[in-house]
Amino acid sequence: MRREVLRNLLAAFGVVFIAIIALSVVVGVFMDSEITGEKVAVVELQGVITDPADVNQELQDLAARDDVKAVVLRIDSPGGAVGPSQEIHREVEKLREKKTVVASMGTVAASGGYYAAVAAEKIVANPGTITGSIGVIMEFFNAQELLGKIGLKGYVIKSGKYKDVGSPLREMEAEERALIQAAIDDVNRQFIKAVAEGRRLKTEEVEKIADGRIFTGMQAKEQGLVDELGSLSDAITLSARLAGIEGEPVVIYTGKSRISFWKAMFGGTSVDSLAELFSGLRLMYLMPNPAR
C-alpha cells in the first residue's frame, strides 16, 4: 500500500514538473509579444564564433517584428572563424535596413567579435573592454621529429600536390607557405575593408592598426574604432534615442524570457540551471581554431 501511494505521489510530482516546464516554454514564447510599447531587443553574441545560425535567426526574427524599433548586439567574444563572423556581419547590415542597431561590448569583443560589431550603426564599449585584434591567423605544427623518436612514420596519399598543405607529418615547403599567406592576406583585406566601411575610416588608417594588436575600449575610441564609452544600459539608451523612442524603452532579451519565468516562480541559481537545461536557452559554441 505504501509503495503504491509513493508511486502515485512520484507520478503526480512528475506530471506537475512537466506541466511547469511546458508552462515556462509557453510563457517564454509569448511573454515578449504581450508587452506593449516600442521595444529595444538585446541579442547576445557570446563565446568563440563558429556557427552563426542561432544569433542570425534571432536577428532575422527581430527584423520582422514591428514592435521592436532598435536592437543592441551585446558582444562577449574573442573572435572565431572568418566565415561565421562575416555571416553575422552581413545579417547585422541587413537588419540595419529596418532597425537601429547598436553594438555593446562587454569583457572582450575582438577579432571576429569586432568584425560583427562594425556592421552596427554605433559601437559602445566599456573603457576596459578588450577589442581590436584586427587580423587573421592560421596555426600549424610539425610532429615529424617527435614521431621519428617513437618509431612512427606517417604516409599520405593525395589527389593533388597541395592537398596536404599544413600536414604535421612533414616540413612545410616555401611554395606552400606562400599559398597560405596569400589566402590569409586576402581574408585580412576583407576584414580591413569591412572595418573601414563600417567605421567610415580610410583604408590606410585601418591598415596601420590591422596588425593583430588589441586595444582597450578607451584606446579604441581614440582610434575611431568605437563611438562611445559606456555600459550595456548606455547602449540601450543610445539605441532607443536613435530609434526615436520617447520615454523609457521596453527592453527584451532574446533567448532569456523563459529563464525570467523560472526566476519569477522560484529564484535561486540551482533553478536557473534547470531553466537553462529545459527551456532551450540559446548558447554559443566554442571552437579551437579562431581566426584572431
Active-site residue, 153 included: no
Annotation: CATH topology of 2-133+213-278: 2-enoyl-CoA Hydratase; Chain A, domain 1 (3.90.226)
Sequence-ordered list of residues with C-beta below 8 angstroms from that of 68, at least 6 positions apart, any chain: 38, 39, 40, 41, 62, 99, 252
User: pLDDT per residue over 236-286, tens digit each?
Assistant: 999 999 999 998 889 999 864 333 444 444 444 444 444 444 433 333 333
pLDDT of residue 16: 54
Confidence of residue 143 (pLDDT cuts 50, 70, 90): very high
Catalytically annotated residue among 158, 161, 163, 193: 163
Sequence-ordered list of residues with C-beta below 8 angstroms from that of 102, at least 6 positions apart, any chain: 70, 71, 72, 73, 120, 121, 122, 123, 124, 235, 236, 238, 239, 242
Does residue 2 register a pLDDT over 70?
no
pTM, full prediction: 0.76
Active-site residue, 270 included: no
User: pLDDT per residue over 61-117, tens digit each?
Assistant: 999 999 999 999 999 999 999 999 999 999 999 999 999 999 999 999 999 999 999
| For the chain, domain boundaries | 2-133+213-278, 136-200
User: pLDDT per residue over 33-69, tens digit each?
Assistant: 455 678 999 999 999 999 999 999 999 999 999 999 9
Catalytically annotated residue among 111, 133, 239, 257: 111
Q: How far is the C-alpha of 291 from the C-alpha of 155, rounded, in Å? A: 29
